[in-house]
Structure 1
Amino acid sequence: MEKLTLIREHLNSLIVGREKEIDFMLIALLQEGHVLLESVPGSGKTWMAKAFAGSFQGGFQRLQFTPDVLPSDVTGIRFFNPQTQEFELRPGAVLTNLLLADEINRATPRTQSSLLEAMEEKQATIDGETLQLPDPFIVIATQNPVESQQGTFPLPAAQLDRFLFRLEIGYPSFEEELKIIRDFRGNASHKKEISAVASISEVQAWTQAAKKVSIHEDIEHYIIKLVQATRAHPLVELGLSSRAALALVHAAQGRAFIEGRIFVTPDDVKYVLQPVALHRLLLTGEGMLIAKPSEVLQEIAESIPMPVEAL
């Protein structure tokens, strides 16, 4: 746990004012989930992902998505080598520990869907041959919400559901922005040096430990009540699925683990509820006119009593 604390401190020194987002990314790594970072251009999404990946001694690939990126660029391809007169495998970007899918909404739906198998099953199929991806494997994707509709392809609900968290990154505060310009104005590359703090074997050990964090039956019932309440809300057209309920369990376990506990509390569930649920919630036409998904989710959370029994 001391090493985990060290990583958090290291990342907070590299990335100004993103303590909560860093915690969510660590939770995703421990629970082998995926993260979608959404913010306006110039807010540091790509740097955040690169700094996060560089803090671990694992493989890292960055794939800049554009309309001409092919599915084979993501998963890989077999090509005929005229020198050896044999077909050879050229691995794609997914054959790594952490894949940065930069501006994922600029890729065509066919290319976006090539990530589905990798994200869900941790494998890639190339010309009928299935390859297991390295352990751990997570995707950190970025997208800009202010892009024009021309040349972009919004992620479908089925693919959004593969992301454990969707993190909407806002503007920094006055003090944070002042620290950014002071820290980076003398650096030609505008970046600090990244150093690996933890090994892959340590991450794998943390992953196994996080899965063993206990969750009381009352909290399981609390999670199910939250999920089912989204389906019954009059302003919600598409509520949370069973996969979302499981994502809440995993995220709450991860949050408890990085806080140094071996059990989940109701506060852990509330802490992870918004980033787990918002991208899985679809409001009705009327609902979109009178409320935001975050407001509906907050109303639902306040309507479900939290477990109060000593756990």
Structure 2
Amino acid sequence: MLLLGSSVYSEEPNVPDWAPELLNRVIQRVGGVVVGHREQISLVFISMLAGGHVLLEDVPGVGKTMMVKTIAACLGCDFNRIQFTYDLMPGDITGTSVYYPHTGEFVFRPGPVMSNIVLADEINRATPRAQSALLEAMEEGHVTVDGNTHPLPAPFFIMATQNPYEFEGTCPLPEAQVDRFIMRLSLGYPGIEEEMVLLERGLDGARLSQQVKPMLTGTEMVSMQQAVRRVYVDESIKRYMATVADASRSREDVALGISPRGTLAWMRASQAAAFLDGRMYVIPDDCLRTAVPVLAHRIQLHRGVRSVAGAQGQVIASLLTQFELPRQRSRRGGRA
């Protein structure tokens, strides 16, 4: 039994009060278009606030593309969709240098990845060579073409999708690339009442996403991402995270445990979850909310356990219950 206690953490004086309220209005607006996925939409924004990227695994037709388009419209940011296919080349993603005979110069023509928000649709249908073109962009915030480095715009966010139930003609993402995504999410099917709303709308759903007006600027999102880094994380919470990560590396059913990068991503996501709730300090509930989406795809199970649906999430949930969450403790000031 986990005891949350009555954790009390002192709030920093520079909490931007307008930001959480505005973000929640944006989430509500996106939820008005993409029906029935409020928590997943919130987790996407938590990922963006943490400066990470999202891998969305789900069957076709549940609203993945519409969600990303609506989020981009609400943010007033540039949006590009890349359809990954087997013949896609790295230059089709990052851009390429084009020779102009009348000037005798090579000029860089940016690829679709040079946008604020990028939808990498069906990423596992491309070859590993094309998939790897996203690695530098996701990790370093820039792309290198012909020896020249080109910075990506800020904010920069990638949402990649793949169908986990259809593997013919696909190239599964290697573990190192999956680890670059801060969260792996699944929308799932809507409930009966939610699907009734979709049926009432008919074809008007796509039109609704086109009518969304910007509610937030890219500059404001960058400012909030910077503020998230200042959200206070108590030492007891850091130790709890490190303990869970360490325990994952010695379990008999786990072949590869949580990496240090995974623990850091968990802390960043917890900071973003706290910020979204209007706090400049992390509480244990933030850790519990983000643990499975952040950590489940970062562990590799032995072959006998791997075939069980949702086994990775079950292992993470089990690890969370093995250790008592931080009890009551307070401390003024300090930062993560």
TM-score where L is the length of structure 1: 0.95
Residue matched to 1:69 = 88
Structure 2 spans left out of the alignment, 5+ residues: 1-18, 331-336
Q: For 1:122-161, list aligned pairs within 5 A.
A: 122-147=141-166, 149-161=167-179
Residue matched to 2:325 = 306
In 2, Cα distance between the equivalents of 1:66 and 1:120? 23
Would the alpha carbon gap of residues 290 and 153 (structure 1) be closer, same or farther in structure 2, given more than 3 Å must change?
A: closer
Identity over the aligned pairs, expressed in percent? 41
Is residue 2:202 matched to residue 1:185?
yes
In 2, Cα distance between the equivalents of 1:238 and 1:275? 17
Residue matched to 2:115 = 96
Moved more, 253-262 or 149-158: 149-158
In 2, Cα distance between the equivalents of 1:22 and 1:289? 28
In 1, Cα distance between the equivalents of 2:150 and 2:141? 9
Is residue 2:193 matched to residue 1:163?
no
Per-residue CA deviations over 1:73-98 (Å, capped at 9, x if unaligned) read 11111121234332111111121111
8 Å Cα contact 2:117/2:158 also seen in 1: yes
Q: Which residue identity lines up with residue 286 of structure 1 in the other structure?
A: G
Is residue 2:198 matched to residue 1:198?
no
Is residue 2:69 matched to residue 1:14?
no
Aligned partner of 1:3 among 14, 19, 22 = 22
In 1, Cα distance between the equivalents of 2:84 and 2:101? 30
In 2, Cα distance between the equivalents of 1:259 and 1:189? 30
Q: Which runs of 4+ in 1 moved over 4 A?
A: 188-191
Is residue 2:195 matched to residue 1:207?
no
Higher relative contact order (CA 8 A, sep 6+): 2
Q: Which residue identity lines up with residue 216 of structure 1 in the other structure?
A: D
Is residue 2:62 matched to residue 1:43?
yes
Per-residue CA deviations over 1:73-126 (Å, capped at 9, x if unaligned) read 111111212343321111111211111101101111000001000000001000
In 2, Cα distance between the equivalents of 1:199 and 1:157? 34
The DSSP-based 3-state class of the residue aligned with 1:115 is helix
The DSSP-based 3-state class of the residue aligned with 2:69 is helix
The DSSP-based 3-state class of the residue aligned with 1:208 is helix
Would the alpha carbon gap of residues 185 and 118 (structure 1) be closer, same or farther in structure 2, given more than 3 Å must change?
A: same
How far apart are 1:164 and its partner, in Å? Answer: 0.4
In 2, Cα distance between the equivalents of 1:190 and 1:235? 48
In 2, Cα distance between the equivalents of 1:290 and 1:73? 37
Aligned residues: 309
TM-score where L is the length of structure 2: 0.89
Structure 1 spans left out of the alignment, 5+ residues: none
Q: Which residue identity lines up with residue 101 of structure 1 in the other structure?
A: A
In 2, Cα distance between the equivalents of 1:200 and 1:286? 46
Aligned partner of 2:71 among 52, 64, 75 = 52
The DSSP-based 3-state class of the residue aligned with 1:124 is strand
In 2, Cα distance between the equivalents of 1:62 and 1:20? 24
In 2, Cα distance between the equivalents of 1:60 and 1:130? 21
What is the aligned-residue RMSD (CA, Å)?
1.5
In 1, Cα distance between the equivalents of 2:283 and 2:198? 35
Q: Which residue identity lines up with residue 242 of structure 1 in the other structure?
A: P
How far apart are 1:309 and its partner, in Å? Answer: 2.0
Per-residue CA deviations over 1:20-47 (Å, capped at 9, x if unaligned) read 1111111111111000111111111111
Residue matched to 2:334 = none
Aligned partner of 2:255 among 224, 237, 247 = 237
Aligned partner of 2:289 among 271, 280, 290 = 271
